[in-house]
Structure 1
Amino acid sequence: MSVREIPLIGDVSEGVVRVGATVRRPMRSTSPSVHALLRHLESAGFDRAPRVLGTDERGRAILTYVEGVVPAHPLPAYAVSDEALITLARLLRRFHDAAASFRPPPGAVWEDGSAPEGPAELVGHCDVTPANVVFRKTTHELLPYALIDFDMARPTTRLFDVVTTLRHWAPLADPLDRDPVQRFLDAAARVRAFCDAYGLPPRDRLMLVETARMRFGRSYALMRDRARTLGGGWARMWDGGAGGRIRRAAAWLDANEDAIQRRLLGDEPLS
C-alpha cells in the first residue's frame, strides 16, 4: 500500500511533501551543496536539522521529517515568548558553530541571495523564518527545537544570518506589518536579548543596524527581480506586498536606530 503524500506549504518552496517519516523535495542545482552541509552537520553532532537519506524513484531528495510544530501566521503567542527568542538564539549559535568547520565541495552551487560584503565566515541558513523553525513541547511550553528548509543556505557571516533571523523574530519591522502578537513587542529589547543569548561580540553589535539596512536594500531588489523572472512563490510574496513591507521596515529601522544601538551597547537596561 502506498503512503499518502501530504503537501508541505512554505514561502517559496514548491513540490515539497511529507511521506510517512520522510520529506521529499524536488532536486535543484543547489541540492548537492545543501546535502553536503546537512551531512556535515550530522557528522559534527548537530542533531537539530533534517538528515539526508538519498533520493526516491522520482529523483526527489529524501530527508527525515522533524516531528514538532511549525508556527503559522498569524503567529501564536508561544512563538514570540521571551524564552522562545532566547532558545532560538542559542539554536542558531549551535548551528553556526557546527557549520563553521564545513568546507563546501569543489564547484558548490548555492542560492543567489542577498549577502554581506567581504569574505564569508561560514555557510548560514539565511532563512530562519517562523515557517522554518520546528517547535517542541518542553516541561512548560513549546520552544524552538530544529531548523528546517535549508534551500536558501549560502556562504555568509554570522552577523548577516543573525540579522536575517532578527528581521522576523524581533521583529525588525514596522508595527503595521507585524503579526498581531508582535505588534507591541519591544523590538530593541528583543534584539539585545537575542544577541546576548547568541553571544554576539561587540564588534558585530556595532555593525548590526548598518548590516540590517544593507540587507533591506538588497532583499528588496532581489525579491523584485525574482518575482519578475521566476514567478511561483516569489511572485506570490511580491504580489502580497513584500516590497512595501521591506520599504516600511527600512524606514522603521532608521527611526529606531538610536534605541536599538543603546540597548545593544548596554546603555539601557533590558527592563
Structure 2
Amino acid sequence: MRSYDGRADGPDAAEVALAAGDVTEGVVRVGGTVRRPAQPQSPAVAAYLDHLEAAGFDGAPRFLGRDGQGRDVLTFVPGDVAGSPPEPWAADAELLASVGRLLRRLHDASEGFLRESGFAAPDGGVWRRQLVPVEVPVPDPEPELVCHLDVTPQNVVVRGGRAAALIDFDLAGPGTRLLDVYNTAMHWAPLGAPEDVYEGWPVHDDWARLERVRILADAYGLDEEAREAMPDLAVSRCASSWHRMKASAEQLGGGWARMWEEGVGDMILRREGWLKEHRQEMLDILLG
C-alpha cells in the first residue's frame, strides 16, 4: 500500500469530522482529502479506484495512499450529500435519472477490471462480502464486473441538482449490472413496506415509488431482458440480505449489530412481502 505524500492537504491541515455512516466512524476531511480508517477490503477498493481513474471515470474519489496514522486517504469530492433519512430534495425525479446515468458510466468504466482473475481481489486481498462467510438461500448471480453495490442517497454527491460522483466504495465487489441497478432502486425509490419509507420522503404511494424504478431503469438504459428479471431478483435478494445482515451483526458487531438490534431484519422481511405483492405491478411498469 503506497504512502500518501501530503500533496492534496492544502494550506489548512485541520481535521474536520464528516458524517458517520451506518458502520464507518472516524471519517474526517483534511484540506482536499478525506481520511478513512483502513479496513481489510481497503487494498481491493484502492485498486478498483485506481482502475476507474485510469479508465477516465470522473465520478469517484481518487485513492492517494495511506497517511502516517494508517488511514486511507482519498480526494475530497465537493457537493451536497443527502442526510439520513434523506431530505425531500433527494426525491427529485431528474436527480434520480442522473443517478441512473452515473451508474451506467461507472459500470462501463468497470468492464474488464479483474475479469481474467474471476474478479478475485488483487494481491491476495478481500472484498467486503468475503469477510462474512454465510450460506444464502439463493446463490448470487454469476458476476459480470466489479461494481459499487451501495448506491444510497448518502453515497451520491450532488452538484447543480444532478448526481456528480459516488463515494464510499467499502461494499464494492463482484456483482452484476442488474444487481447494482436493483440495489440502487431499492434505496432511491425506496422499495419496501409503506411504514419503512423514509421519514419526510415526499413519495409514499406504492405506484409512484415503482414508477421511480422505471425512471432509474430508463436513465441507465436497462434492456428488456434485465427489466423482466428485476422483480424476481428483487424478491430473491431479500432472503439473502436477511442472512447476510444477521451474519454481519454476529461476526462483525459494531454498526452491523446496532442495525440488527434496531430491526433491520424485520424491515427486510416486510420488504420481501411488499415486493411479492407488487411483483406484477413492477413488471408492468418496467415494460410499459
TM-score by length of 1: 0.91
Which residue of structure 2 aligns with residue 184 of structure 1? Answer: 205
**In structure 2, distance between residues paired with 1:156 and 1:205:** 17
Alpha-carbon distance between aligned partners in 2 of 1:232 and 1:117, rounded to the nearest angstrom: 26
Q: Distance in 2 between matches of 1:108 and 1:55?
A: 16
Note the residue ranges of structure 1 that are not aligned, 5 or more in a row: 267-271
The percentage of aligned residue pairs carrying the same residue is: 47
Q: Any stretches of 5+ residues in structure 2 without a counterpart?
A: 1-11, 131-135
2:142 to 119, 125, 131: 119
Q: 1:175 aligns with which of 194, 219, 244?
A: 194
Call closer, same or farther: CA 1:116–1:53 in 2, change over 3 Å.
farther
Residue 91 of structure 1 is matched in structure 2 by 102
Q: Say which of 8, 11, 14 aligns to 2:22.
A: 11
Report the 3-state secondary structure (helix = DSSP H, G, I; strand = E; otherwise coil) of the residue aligned with 2:128: coil
Which residue matches 2:111?
100
Q: Pick from 51, 72, 75: which aligns with 1:64?
A: 75
In structure 2, the residue matched to 1:260 is: 282
Question: 1:109 is matched with which residue?
Answer: 126
Deviations 1:142-190 (A, max 9, x none): 2221100000001000011111111111111111111132323612211
Contact 2:13 2:30 in 1 (8 A): no
Q: Does 1:33 align with 2:56?
A: no
Separation (CA, whole Å) in 1 of partners of 2:18 and 2:86? 21
- CA shift for structure 1 position 12: 1.2
Give the distance between the partners of 1:69 and 1:41, measured in 2 at CA.
22
The 3-state SS of whatever aligns with 2:278 is helix
State the AA in 2 paired with 1:136.
Answer: R
Q: Does the Cα contact within 8 Å between 1:188 and 1:263 map onto a contact in 2?
A: yes
CA gap 1:20/1:2 in 2 versus in 1, 3 angstroms: closer
Aligned mate of 1:240, from 262, 265, 285: 262
Per-residue CA shift, 1:192-229, capped at 9, x if unaligned? Answer: 11111101111111110111112111111111121122
CA distance in 1 between partners of 2:18 and 2:59 (Å): 22
Structure 2 vs 1, CA of residues 5 and 73 (structure 1 numbering), >3 Å: closer, same or farther? Answer: closer
- How far the C-alpha of 1:102 sits from its partner, in A, is 1.4
- 1:65–1:116 CA distance, 2 compared to 1 (3 A): farther
TM-score (norm 2): 0.86
**Cα distance in 2, alignment partners of residues 9 and 107 from structure 1:** 29
The CA RMSD over aligned residues, in Å, is 1.8
- The question of 1:156 aligning with 2:178 is answered no
The amino acid across from 2:187 in the alignment is H
